[in-house]
Structure 1
């Protein structure tokens, strides 16, 4: 069956980058948040997969915010950090769920604030590990000069921002590589994005890159790093702990709505009616208030993330 002129035009626009193509669900220019509406956002390269978990949590939250005028909810995805920061600044989204570093940067760029932390699979805090092969001769961060490291993606806290900042703090400069086969200059560490934690471990084990970085949870996950591979690897550096995730609210939300959303999220773990919504929301066990020690840690993480964005990206 031949394509219609209209379909051909849409396919051409998708190819040129005006539309994201089949399977995506972007809104190219979402309007202002409607009165009585709560918009939950997330940065995603697979919006169809992430829509349902966000929708499940919204369906639990919205009825519990009627006292502050919320009557309906909507999910809004962004394709990258810049787009989500713009949505927050312009009042297109009220609330964003993100990893710690990305969430902190979004809050700063938009004038928003950290609402609560997100616990997942029984874990509220975790840390990053930088590792290499035992037989590589790499035992310190300084040894990575002239070598390569695999991160996950530019939005990851545990597999990009935190380990990249650790390298910079140690005086090791970073430069992006064209591929794992590319090599950096002798006084810098070259980095590539492997897109998944499993790829990171495999690339290091197979010597495609010299080192890798991801969380201590991934290190102990036999599905992502089998014992037969882990036995050949050694951890050369660890970062301080940081939250698994953060919930960020924009500056356009009223104080009453911010406080009610905080109450609903903090109370969800003790509410049997929330159990299924939390399970579908990326395996979340609940949300937790950020204490003073954690706020100090988040400040350090934010400063580190800013350093990475200014010196690396």
Structure 2
């Protein structure tokens, strides 16, 4: 603190000083700041005005929580008070007193897949499990694409999400999002980006695909686009747009693979896990495709907490995910997910992807606009 700063004892003293002394600079509560306008100008922080929604979503970063400290095993009266604080009535009281009510639910984004019914079936059990343990509503939000996660976090559309590796990396760099855990599918919790060709094709290397048609997932994903871009650049072959005759948007990993199977394209860039699942569902596909090039493994869709999730809530969610295989309700939710359990996951697990992104820094600069 500057030696010339004046320390004031009460919020009303700050309000008085800001009104009375031209050029004074200070900080006060959100309610007092908004009531001081237009006599006092409220400053933006990083271009963000401090309205309640900006504070609630974390876009306005200068904020502090109101914390209640109790014994580890509170008596009945404090416990009833804590229960009351979680109610809608308590949030409305906080709102009238100039406080920003806490999020009344946890909104979890789920990735675009086959259809909404399938997504509800797959993730609904997890939402109910978290809701029963956290004591707050958990709502599923269907994301329109793999790449809108950063904006969804930034605008408060979602608080947490299942995120592909590249979507997580961008959200981590841009918003401070943190990966908490990832599902383990029968011992498989990571995937590779693979460029597939038909088993009977003459292609034996990436160089053989010059001037050929290649399908991809239609999103900026690690397997669908990042790895093909990296593989070509590493070999000095240029970009997918200049090296291939066409780098075609198929809309999903599965659609890209089916276009390859149908002879519509010469190769497809997709997740190896998607191809494995297709073969599992239809064994007649076994052996019809082969790998031409593959990336190092990266974590499969991880559960990522955005900036609106407090550190304490992040710890709660991580603990619940890592132990959910130990309870009957948790086991049922995991069966719906097709997973055995959740595994600890950290930013360091994405080292292979960071290497690819660093090599493609110029090509991917548009995804990193804020840091």
Q: Normalising by structure 1, what TM-score?
A: 0.71
- Give the aligned partner of residue 315 of structure 2: 259
Could you say which structure has the larger radius of gyration?
2
Higher relative contact order (CA 8 A, sep 6+): 1
Residue 290 of structure 1 pairs with residue 345 of structure 2: yes
- Structure 1: gaps (5+ residues): 1-28, 177-184
C-alpha distance in structure 2 between counterparts of 1:196 and 1:87, whole Å: 21
User: CA 1:147/1:229 → structure 2, altered by over 3 Å: closer, same or farther?
Assistant: farther
The secondary structure found in structure 1 opposite 2:106 is: strand
Given candidates 217, 232, 235, the residue that maps to 1:167 is 232
Q: Which has the higher strand share?
A: 1
Bigger shift: residues 140-149 or 151-160: 151-160
Give 1:62's aligned residue.
131
For residues 256-309 of structure 1, what are the alpha-carbon distances to aligned partners after superposition, in whole Å with 9 as ceiling and x for unaligned? Answer: 10111110001112222211112223x122211126862433533554786664
Q: 1:155 to 1:61 in 2, by over 3 A?
A: farther
SS at structure 2 position matched to 1:137: coil
- Deviation per CA, 1:34-82: give whole Å up to 9, x if none: 534211112437445423433321210122224xxxx222222332356
Q: CA RMSD in A?
A: 3.4
5 Å matches for 1:210-229? 210-220=266-276, 221-223=278-280
Structure 2's unaligned 5+ residue stretches are 1-52, 58-101
Structure 2 residue 354 is the aligned partner of structure 1 residue 299: yes
Q: Does residue 239 in structure 1 map to residue 295 in structure 2?
A: yes
Structure 1 residues 306 and 80, CA gap change in structure 2 (3 angstroms): farther
Q: Matches of 1:291 and 1:110 in 2, distance apart? A: 16
Work out the number of aligned pairs and report it. Answer: 269
* TM-score normalised by structure 2 residue count: 0.61
| Pairwise CA distance, 1:252 | 2.1
CA–CA separation in structure 2 for the residues paired with 1:92 and 1:62: 18
- Structure 1 residue 194 corresponds to structure 2 residue 262: no
Structure 2 matches for 1:42-57, cutoff 5 A? 42-44=110-112, 46-57=115-126
Do the aligned residues in 2 keep the contact of 1:265 with 1:287 (CA within 8 Å)?
yes
Equivalence for 2:182: 117
1:107 aligns to what?
172
